[in-house]
Structure 1
């Protein structure tokens, strides 16, 4: 008999707040973290979703002693604040996994350096956070472009089912940096204004930053506030292009198909889709094709990028958390900035806050290198 795997707790740190409740309230009010920010000195300001550094430090000072502050980078502070509430609620044992999802980690440490700083290695970043909280197992890093957050959930699920661990803390984080902004600029993928996923007038992404953490276990206690069963997962690489998505949606289609098959749920049973929705021309079109191939075109769907921007390795985990909040509150959130359909295939884009019973959630992600991932969650 297959071991059931549950998400029973989560936390997040974003431009909209330093806990889930604050984020949920902001989202209900339609607030967005996307605004104009000047990130690179010799370039114009651009639209991005950025955590206020002063507020971040204030929050960090509330929970950590003064002597800790100089030892941590800005990203590390985000990660520490995200995981702390969960570590306080759940026991770390010899069988507890620590899984870090990130795309670029401490890439900002490379600025103006002639030699490679030790802290830029993702393994060192994971080890530093894990050691601080006393994890006893070797940290696991999931760094597969923008599907990392969704894949990290899958890695935890599969390792617990295989008996490698009894539970896991999955933490994800990425920050805004000159490196990332310059990279997306080179693809001419940065939007001229607040991003508009699936909209006719979309013209590119907004980069964002966040940290998020979930606790995953095969043996939930009786006093958990909620449980979400991780029913199915899949990750497929379509090997299409180093940065461009498949025009046929093959990889995403296969990921969704496999995840739903493992979950043993049909397209009609899915109540809500938390999509990737980057607001680039080709990504959104590819997703629309894949969803239609799976006959999911009538299922309510949103992208959270209009609220948070694209948070890279944190996106999949953060957006999974928000989708679970939607289920707990029986509320579908609109896909912000969407006005008129700009993809060739029909989709049921959510336009306003609306009540709905949500039991089965499909979360998808796609990224550079042709990677795609999907996970099916069930509210218990």
Structure 2
């Protein structure tokens, strides 16, 4: 059997209301900060979300050489800034690089004022075309949209393409912004908390919305990385359009497959970055799945009370944070859980803690029954 090349994490970038750049985000997380705030919809209505300050976004975007900034949407600007930072630090051969865009909604806000035709930029593939054109990337971009696991799916697809020697490098982007469309949808589902969300807490009520963009550079050619992807899988529980399997069937299958590829038992996992949306059924389902795989005692973090749910960006952002945990041998705190409210009880990481970490498991789940699992290895402890 042909030996597949190892896929390494070379660099990353997070642009979020919590901080501009990965280092700024990590600093805020260590200080137990949240970007979630109360925002007005009308005189009587409000919601809690992590949103960009428009002026801050425009100031950062001015750093790029655009004479026509008004031609780009908010999400396009965030992706362009993310790629710019990654390529500035890593002068890779773009002819050997694939661009992968992960998003759940893209520029869906453009449909709000559309009348008789669908704006071209509202089509998901247009995001990839915009990035490809600006950075003169030769290969056709790949656009992925699979609910809330989209960012993780982008990493999985990038890894598999590199393992098949289709490319040497992969630029994986994930992101979404909050619009009236997304806000209205979750309000109708009655899935939003009227306060800052409480993942896994007994009194959890639902999600907060968030917006962000993130990027990861994968490579089989560059060997100066300390982090390798050793296992990943996607599985669907086919349970319901919005509700997960109560026993976590799809998540169990995804984690089990990722462990099998990594040639690991669940006991080898040192840390879990979970989905943790703070909705009633998602958190309960995850607890069931982790319990079935004897992972319930592993230190576990949800980052949703830091960022809100950033949809297409969430699994990618949280993968980056998992990588930083490994590199820094630190367990980052999970905010919002004061009284555990799932069965079996999970080991929610309450404080910043130093710990030797070799393997981290990242999971995500989403509408339609999709589930994602990925295992990162810290090569410093190979």
TM-score range, shorter chain: over 0.9
Contact (CA 8 Å) 2:272, 2:360: kept in 1 or not?
yes
Match of 1:162 in 2: 164
Match of 1:220 in 2: 222
Match of 1:276 in 2: 275
TM superposition shift of 1:227: 2.7
Match of 1:65 in 2: 65
Match of 2:199 in 1: 197
* Offset from partner CA, 1:297-350 (integer Å, 9 cap, x none): 111001000000000010000011111112222111111011111012121110
Match of 2:128 in 1: 126
Match of 2:140 in 1: 138
* 1:14-53 equivalence runs, <5 A: 14-38=16-40, 40-41=41-42, 44-53=45-54
Contact (CA 8 Å) 2:362, 2:373: kept in 1 or not?
yes
Name the SS of the counterpart of 1:245 in structure 2.
coil
Match of 1:82 in 2: 82
Q: Give the TM-score normalised by the residue count of structure 1.
A: 0.96
Name the SS of the counterpart of 1:111 in structure 2.
helix
TM superposition shift of 1:68: 3.4
Contact (CA 8 Å) 1:168, 1:216: kept in 2 or not?
yes
> Structure 1 CA distance, aligned partners of 2:294 and 2:97?
38
> Structure 2 CA distance, aligned partners of 1:100 and 1:80?
12
Deviates more, 1:65-74 or 1:155-164: 65-74
Contact (CA 8 Å) 1:92, 1:135: kept in 2 or not?
no
Contact (CA 8 Å) 2:29, 2:333: kept in 1 or not?
no
In the alignment, structure 1 residue 109 sits paired with structure 2 residue 110: yes
TM superposition shift of 1:165: 1.2
TM superposition shift of 1:91: 1.5
Contact (CA 8 Å) 1:197, 1:305: kept in 2 or not?
yes
Name the SS of the counterpart of 1:11 in structure 2.
strand
TM superposition shift of 1:43: 6.4
> Structure 2 CA distance, aligned partners of 1:42 and 1:97?
47
> Structure 2 CA distance, aligned partners of 1:345 and 1:130?
46
Relative to structure 1, is the Cα distance of residues 18 and 216 closer, same or farther in structure 2, using a 3 angstrom cutoff? same
TM superposition shift of 1:92: 3.4
* Offset from partner CA, 1:231-266 (integer Å, 9 cap, x none): 111100111000011101000000000001101121
RMSD: 1.2
Name the SS of the counterpart of 1:180 in structure 2.
helix
In the alignment, structure 1 residue 339 sits paired with structure 2 residue 338: yes
Contact (CA 8 Å) 2:50, 2:210: kept in 1 or not?
yes
TM superposition shift of 1:42: 7.4
> Structure 1 CA distance, aligned partners of 2:93 and 2:45?
46
Q: Unaligned regions of 5+ residues in structure 2, if any? A: none
TM superposition shift of 1:10: 0.4
TM superposition shift of 1:41: 4.5
Match of 1:96 in 2: 97
Contact (CA 8 Å) 2:226, 2:327: kept in 1 or not?
no
TM superposition shift of 1:66: 4.8
* 1:176-325 equivalence runs, <5 A: 176-221=178-223, 224=224, 226-325=225-324
Q: Unaligned regions of 5+ residues in structure 1, if any? A: none
Contact (CA 8 Å) 1:87, 1:133: kept in 2 or not?
no
Name the SS of the counterpart of 2:181 in structure 1.
helix
What count of residue pairs does the alignment treat as equivalent? 375
> Structure 2 CA distance, aligned partners of 1:90 and 1:317?
22
> Structure 2 CA distance, aligned partners of 1:157 and 1:175?
26
Deviates more, 1:82-91 or 1:356-365: 82-91
